Amino acid sequence: MAKQTYSGSCQCGAVAFEADVDLDHSVACNCSRCRRLGSVLAFTPLDGFRLQKGEEAVSEYLFNTETIRHLFCRTCGIESFAYGQMPDGTKMAAVNANCLDGVDARALSPQMYDGASK
């Protein structure tokens, strides 16, 4: 599967976005946050992510090194995406594949990332 454009949102629809991601390169992380959320993440450079609505509807959560801006809907609590940067400094968005329209994240084969050890 190559990079495709997907639409997504939080549960209540207050936050909506489009993202250009390759779901064949998705990641499941075992850090204290991702493990509890069950997130399956797909990454894109920041110019491949377009917030359609909801900038005023999100709240930010930072933890550990405070380098990833976890953004969740203030109404329904769903974290549909986060902002951060790649190791080379490229700004990126991490999209929760569970929030993408028409995608069954449980059918993906994500690469495991050991965030618990970081």
**pLDDT tens-digit map of 38-95:** 999 999 999 999 999 999 999 998 887 767 899 999 999 999 999 999 889 999 999 9
Letter for the amino acid at 1?
M
- Determine the average pLDDT of the residues in 23-28: 96
Q: How far is CA 51 from CA 24, 28, 32, 56, 75, in A?
A: 22, 23, 26, 11, 17
- Quote the pTM value: 0.90
Q: Which residue has the tokens 């779901």?
A: 23
Residue 94 belongs to domain with CATH number:
2.170.150.70
Answer whether residue 80 is part of any domain: yes
- H/E stretch holding 31: none
Total count of domains within the chain: 1
Which string of DSSP letters, residue by residue, matches 41-59? Answer: EEEEEGGGEEEEE-GGGEE
Q: Which residue has the tokens 């974290």?
A: 79
Alpha helices in the chain (DSSP H): 32-37
Answer whether residue 67 is part of any domain: yes
For residue 20, what are the β-bridge partners?
5
Question: What is the domain extent for residue 82?
Answer: 4-112
